[in-house]
Chains A and B, each alone.
Chain A
């Protein structure tokens, strides 16, 4: 029982990191219907920005987090303007292919020696790591507390932003119907850029937390977490913000629990197996509505 609770805490830690990445996927998909394959690499760049902010600039952790988020917000908007915007009227697959291109570019460009370099780097711990006993042998570390706190704070802030502010309302309107939104006087291009900026900033936060929690980074670290976060977004119902959080927590828990109790080499089989099962039973995802196509 102790082990189970401990593993659930570990699973939530991973799940919250996935949630921060998954939100960017789900927001971008909701608004431009694009699977942004480069998002996992933005997450990686965020981890590196945080790394340099902590080591080179010796910034305290909250400031380093903000620097990484701001840097990636700019990167996300730049990617959108250069690689995706010219293809908005083209077949959707064309933008998907450029997204793959941007992904490969970010991985190999940052691998160059004068950028981040190809090697694994050990991530610094910007605060003292201690463990607290919750009773019965279950422990929670300061790292886990920080991951939970930062993730929940950002998730709540995002939810408030999207539901309560005027810009958030414009985002929802654009995702609902782009042309009508434009007729209502919404600057659609601006809203899309804001969406990319927010999504990329959240991924950067995820990257910094990931670096602290699993202290090793390299230019290819974004591929698998990116993929799993994307799958989490689909699992919860793509385009739906709470869905991405639920999906991500499920993915994190399934991954950690199947590694602990069944087989650590087979854990991806369970994570992706659940995805396929959910899609077959409820094609729109857990929170999604499966709208009937009108003829």
Chain B
């Protein structure tokens, strides 16, 4: 029997999950590195969200971190005020995703009329506004901590939660982009006017893509909050939006495989350099990183995957 690519990928994923889980439990992988692996998964989820918005629907967003932050603060607020232990994590994560999606819907309706760079700038402005609101959040809800940061969030995120979330996000995005709705989003990216001419409701699909992508960012934010147990508005500023954009473009716009690989490579490289570099040139870590980034972009302007996918992420070919 010929094994299907999907089956092999599933087995590979389960194996990866089990290896990291066991290595974490037996302390072969120290807690610090386990945390890095979890963070890579979180960046994958957030990156996939931006990939729907920018890679597939073609809507340039520079405010992704705002939605990530909305999810993080919403989820953390729920678990912290409920104080009912681990049972609240799932509802909190979902609430974070819904809150991010809802805000995306409300802000998306007016601003998604803007095109390309102008949309990017409007979302950038929105992201900065949200960050300032986080800074001042303690005036309304003291629990959120404002510019002093939010502390005392229960540490509920585990490797299992992150892994299930990431696999769920991959499956969701993969099935979405190969569905008729996903195709409609791609047609908007390719040519908005032509899409409209053949009867695609472009406003509806732009909003759909934007809301889905931001909801994924919200989910990632919730996981992040319960991984590091501390939130600060600085974690959601404009530079963090650029990080996600870097990941998505480096991987290749409109490529799920690219986002997965780039998110993991980006996280592990930034942390890995910390270990590899000798202490006396540790300051060079963030000098080397942008140079690598520039070199990769000069050599592969369309990103690592350039819109291609691993075989298991493609639909089966029909006879």
Nearest A residue to B253, CB-CB: A93
* Chain A minimum-CB-distance residue to B303: A94
A63-95 vs B: 1/0 string, CB under 8 Å?
A: 000000000000000000001001100110110
* Number of chain B residues whose Cβ lies closer than 8 Å to a Cβ of chain A: 42
- A276–B124 Cα distance when bound, in Å, is 10
When the two chains form their complex, are residues B298 and A93 in contact, meaning their CB atoms are under 8 A apart? no
Task: Find A275's partner among B125, B250, B286 (CB 8 Å cutoff).
Answer: B125
- Interface of chain B: mostly helix, strand, loop or mixed: helix
Residues of B within 8 A of A90 (CB): 301-302
Within 8 A of A (CB), among B265-319: 283-284, 286-287, 289-291, 293-294, 297-298, 301-302
Q: Can you list, as one digit per residue, whether each of B249-271 has a CB less than 8 Å from chain A (1) or not (0)? A: 11001000000000000000000
Instruction: Give how many A-B residue pairs fall within 8 Å (CB-CB).
Output: 116
Say whether B302 contacts A86, CB under 8 Å. no
* Interface check B128, CB cutoff 8 A: yes
Residue of chain A at shortest CB distance from B286: A108
Q: Which of A48-56, A99-107, A143-151 contacts B (4 or more CB under 8 A)?
A: A99-107
B22 — which chain A residues lie within 8 A by C-beta?
none
Task: Tell me if B88 is interfacial: C-beta within 8 Å of chain A.
Answer: no
A97–B296 Cα distance when bound, in Å, is 10
Partner of A273, one of B129, B135, B253, B302: B129
Q: Which residue of B lies closest to A279 (CB)?
A: B122
Q: Which of A11-19, A109-117, A122-130, A181-189 contacts B (4 or more CB under 8 A)?
A: A109-117
Is A272 on the interface with B (CB-CB < 8 A)? yes
Contact status of A112 and B283, CB under 8 A, knowing A101-B291, A105-B294 = yes
For the complex, give the distance between the alpha carbons of A18 and B128 in Å: 18
State whether the Cβ of B103 lies closer than 8 Å to any Cβ in chain A: no
**Which of A86, A101, A234, A295 contacts B121 (CB under 8 A)?**
A234
B199 close to chain A: CB less than 8 A: no
Residue from B120, B129, B135 having most chain A Cβ neighbours under 10 A: B129
B246: chain A residues at CB < 8 Å are 97, 100
The answer to whether B294 and A276 touch across the interface, beta carbons within 8 angstroms, is: no
In the complex, which residues of chain B have a beta carbon less than 8 angstroms from the beta carbon of A107? 286
Contact A231 B249 (CB under 8 A): no
Looking across the interface, which residue of chain A has its beta carbon closest to that of B116? A92
Determine the distance from Cα of A103 to Cα of B124 in the docked complex, in whole angstroms. 17
A272 to B300 Cα, complex, angstroms: 34
**B297's contact among A37, A87, A238, A269, by CB below 8 Å, is which?**
A87
CA distance A275 to B125 in the complex (A): 7
Q: Does A283 contact B (CB under 8 A)?
A: yes
Which one of A87, A227, A265, A276 lies within 8 Å of B238 (CB-CB)? A227
Query: Which residue, A107, A231, A269, A280, has most C-beta atoms of chain B within 10 A?
Result: A269
CB–CB B283/A266 < 8 A: no
Contact at B129–A268, with CB atoms within 8 Å? yes
Q: How far is the CA of A100 from the CA of B241 in the complex (A)?
A: 12
- Contact check, B132 vs A268: say whether CB atoms are below 8 A apart: yes
Q: Does A293 contact B (CB under 8 A)?
A: yes
Of A35, A227, A272, A283, the most chain B CB neighbours within 10 A belong to A272
* Contact among A93, A269, A273 for B249, CB-based, below 8 A: A93
* A residues whose Cβ falls under 8 Å from a Cβ of B: 33, 35, 37, 83, 86-87, 90-91, 93-94, 96-98, 100-105, 107-109, 111-113, 223, 227, 230-231, 234, 238, 263, 265-266, 268-269, 272-273, 275-276, 279-280, 283, 293, 295
Pairs across A and B, CB under 8 Å, 9 listed: A83-B298, A98-B294, A100-B242, A101-B291, A108-B290, A113-B283, A268-B132, A279-B118, A293-B193
B binding-site residues for A, Cβ under 8 Å: 110-111, 113-115, 117-118, 120-122, 124-126, 128-129, 132-133, 135-136, 147, 193, 238-239, 242, 245-246, 249-250, 253, 283-284, 286-287, 289-291, 293-294, 297-298, 301-302
